Amino acid sequence: MTNYSCRSTSRYVTRDSEILQGEPIIVGTKVAVRDIVKLWKLGVKPEDVSQKLMGLVTAAQVFDAISFYLDNQSEVDDYIELYQKNPLWEAPLWLKFNAFIEIC
């Protein structure tokens, strides 16, 4: 993993070496920015992400996470790619956050 020394500051995004090895997360949670970004890239509206994540984050936190992502795309994309290459490292979002899946 690349060492990202030039990092954007954010009101709701932080890093904690004790949580996800310092990956960007939402303050006061264990929700990774990549989790929000993945939902957003799937077409979930930012204002609906909070509901998809069982209310663990607020709409303001979601918008800030997306803003953080836009300023730090390569870092967050590296985390997304890392977890895609190692799927056993992470439970699916629906299991991780106890969300429901709609089956068509």
Domains of the chain, by residue range, sit at 13-96
Q: Which of 8-17, 65-74, 75-84 has the lowest mean pLDDT?
A: 8-17
pLDDT, position 9? 74
Cβ contact 56:98 at 8 Å: no
Instruction: Quote the CA–CA distance of 69 and 87 in Å, as a whole number.
Output: 21
Dump strand ranges (E) for the chain.
13-14, 25-26
pLDDT band of residue 1 (cuts 50, 70, 90) is low
Domain 13-96 sits in CATH at 1.10.10.10
Cβ contact 61:12 at 8 Å: yes
Cβ contact 4:75 at 8 Å: yes
pLDDT at 86 over 90: no
Nearest to 56 by CA among 9, 104, 15, 12: 12
